[in-house]
Amino acid sequence: MTVAEKKKPIAERLLEGDRNAVARLITWAENGDTRFHQALAGIYPELGRARRLGVTGPPGAGKSTLVNELVGELRREDRQVGVLAVDPSSPFTGGALLGDRIRMESRTIDPGVFIRSMASRDSHGGLARATIDACDVMDAFGFDDVLIETVGVGQAEYDVVSAADTVVVVLCPGAGDSIQAMKSGLLEVADIIVVNKNDLPGAQRMVVDLEEAVHIRLAGKGRWITPVVTCSAGRGEAVADVLAEISRHGEHLGEQGLSALRTQKRAGQVRLAVGELIDDYLWGEAGYSQRVASELDAGRTPYEVAGEIRDAVLRGERP
Amino acid sequence: MTVAEKKKPIAERLLEGDRNAVARLITWAENGDTRFHQALAGIYPELGRARRLGVTGPPGAGKSTLVNELVGELRREDRQVGVLAVDPSSPFTGGALLGDRIRMESRTIDPGVFIRSMASRDSHGGLARATIDACDVMDAFGFDDVLIETVGVGQAEYDVVSAADTVVVVLCPGAGDSIQAMKSGLLEVADIIVVNKNDLPGAQRMVVDLEEAVHIRLAGKGRWITPVVTCSAGRGEAVADVLAEISRHGEHLGEQGLSALRTQKRAGQVRLAVGELIDDYLWGEAGYSQRVASELDAGRTPYEVAGEIRDAVLRGERP
């Protein structure tokens, strides 16, 4: 790399297809580095070309295997694909069983594919924000599709929901799994439900149960009815059907619908960012935790202390 | 229930051992109902008696089985035990395999045990805050031990870390699992590491690897060296060893150490609460999202918009 190239703004290098710029910018996003905000301003007008697909589901449902197969299908159409693995137990990030990991490696040497795992240390909602940022980077780089994989446990699926145009929830047949998915709120975030491992007993019954649950919830004229499709990602069967539903969801949204959806998700991103900024402002001050601790030691409840801090902030005072 | 009893403040009913008050207050905590704050003020001086134990680890490590066995051990010592299952895939909350669930049910009919699952819909850090609140409720009710189970994936383990005095990380032997645990940051939150399913091949090797990792990281005079213990929760073997390490950790902390640790975690709770309060203030206003959306539609980046909102808030203006 020449000195002149090094001096080039990173946003420009990204738009020119520099893979190092992708990696660097995602690291900045993960670290909440403010240089990211500046770079984003440089790429923001170029965003919106990539299709952003989220894949989530409980552990063991076969998310990574499905993502791997989807990447294969998309590559056959000669589309460039970025993969973001937010799930730390994903084989893409080095987790899960050795066999899976080796299978995934055939993707990592394909120059039309870029795989990146997201660190998941942060506890204040920063991961959801960083996931959106990473999608923006991959979009600006020029990937046709960005696949985001995250585990659907606790609140982790919101990382996918806040970043994706289309959310695919992957389940597999097993005792009580459809009930569990309903209870946990996973179905509510699904645009498409995939019953993976369709050769397992109970797959057809599960489809019927899920369809019923979805139809009760979402009946309404012109509304998207979440389809329930089956496949076997492990044997590479019917993965094209999943992709067909993804395309159909995109067509259903249309240009206007997609644009409205994205603005709504951007507003969610603003909300996350405001939360982080105010949190940084308050708790980034040296000794602030200590001051709060001494108020607590005086026997006041956390909510009394929190209420006063809020009031002070909203009066424009430094609490 | 007589009218007079109904009129009694809920905090009082809780302190008198009313189980309905436990359930009601935890629901308020989950919903972020402000009545909880008032009730907490009534019970706050009584808090601090219960031992708060967190159990976390990857899916399939056997967390619920271990929790179930720990409850059994504690019941043999005639201790009253509260269980909070934050993990939606926990058999305590109706997830996982039917066999597990039936085994757990023997606990649910024991009057010395109270099991509660936490809803996990919220995406703005509310679950960690609600978990702490629920521990406070169980503590005030008079449980000797409160066990919090959560899955160690993504950021979910922070729900345990922010609420517990002692954090037990459960792992089981398997390809790359110790490396995975190190990578994901799980080891860093552990006060005690349990290698469960100690009859599986690789268990001893895993113990050696983990001990090495822990000792490199934590060497230092007088500091707690995270012990690595093995057990087989499924066969009820060596669960008492886990409990012994939990007690040893409590002794190591001592009264002063525990008090300092709890104040530090209370400060974290204040931080979560302030974030929620300011978020509610901003986004609770009807039409606010819409206003933000129109700013975004004008082509400004989410961080430009977020920065201005932050600045307005800190100036004491309503953005």
How high does pLDDT run on average in chain B? 87
- The pLDDT of residue A98 is 43
Indicate left, alpha or beta for B299 from its phi (over 0: left) and psi (-120 to 50: alpha): left
Mean pLDDT over B19-42 rounds to 92
pLDDT band at B125 (very low <50, low <70, confident <90, very high): low
pLDDT at B90 over 80: no
Residue contact B154–A310, C-beta within 8 A:
no
CA gap B203, B201 in Å, rounded: 6
Domain boundaries, chain A: 47-253
CB A53 within 8 A of CB A165: yes
Of B153, B179, B283, which has the smallest distance from its Cβ to A151's Cβ?
A: B153
Which tens digits make up the pLDDT trace of B275-292? 999 999 999 998 999 999
A220 versus B231: the higher-pLDDT residue is B231
Contact yes or no for B266 and A293 at CB 8 A = yes
Residue keyed to tokens 């190591």? B252
Which of A164-178, B60-74, B168-182, B301-315 has the highest mean predicted lDDT (pLDDT)? B301-315
CB contact under 8 A, A154 and B156: yes
ipTM of the complex: 0.88
CA dihedral A177, A183, A186, A190 (to 10 degrees): 90
Interface test with A, best of B157, B177, B274, B291 (most A CBs within 10 A): B274
Predicted local distance difference test score (pLDDT) of residue A292: 96
| Residue contact B128–A123, C-beta within 8 A | yes
Average the pLDDT over each of A248-262, B86-100, B140-154, B202-216 and give the range with the smallest value.
B86-100
Residues of B in contact with A174 (CB under 8 A): 97
Judging contacts by C-beta atoms under 8 Å, the chain B residues touching residue A304 are 37, 41
pLDDT digits (tens, 9 = 90+) for B168-198: 999 988 755 666 676 667 888 899 999 999 9
Whether residue B77 has pLDDT greater than 50: yes
**CATH number, span B3-253:** 3.40.50.300
Q: Which H or E run contains B293?
A: helix B288-297
User: Residue A163, by phi and psi: left (phi above 0), alpha (psi -120 to 50) or beta?
Assistant: alpha
Compute mean pLDDT per 10 residues along chain A, 319 residues long, and list them.
72 95 93 91 95 90 92 96 79 51 64 83 69 96 95 73 95 72 77 94 91 72 88 95 98 96 95 93 92 94 96 94
B/e letters for B246-273, b = 16+ CB within 10 Å, e = fewer, are beebbeebeeeebeeebbebbbbbbbbb
Task: Check if A118 contacts B (Cβ < 8 Å).
Answer: no
- Residue B289 contacts A where some CB pair is shorter than 8 Å: yes
Nearest to A89 among B94, B153, B281 (CB): B153
| 3 state SS of A53 | strand
pLDDT value of residue A213: 83
Rounded to a whole number of angstroms, the distance from the CA of B309 to the nearest CA of chain A is: 7
- Domain A47-253 fold: Rossmann fold (3.40.50)
A165 to chain B, any CB pair closer than 8 A? The answer is no
Q: Which residues contact B119 (CB under 8 A, 6 or more apart)?
A: B30
| Residue B147 structure tokens | 């066990």
Tokens, residue B70: 């720990």
Task: Report CB contact under 8 Å: B59, A89.
Answer: yes
In chain B, the DSSP E strands lie at: 51-57, 81-85, 113-117, 145-151, 166-171, 192-195, 228-230
Side chain identity at residue A25, one-letter code: L
pLDDT for res B99: 47
- The pLDDT tens digits of the residues spanning A167-219 come to 999 998 875 566 667 666 788 889 999 999 999 998 999 999 899 888 766 55
Q: How many CB pairs under 8 A join A and B?
A: 237
Q: A119-123 contacts: CB < 8 A, separation 24 or more?
A: A119/A30, A120/A86, A120/A88, A120/B154, A120/B155, A120/B184, A120/B185, A121/B185, A122/B155, A123/B125, A123/B128, A123/B155, A123/B158, A123/B162
Task: Nearest chain B residue to A284 by CA: give it.
Answer: B271
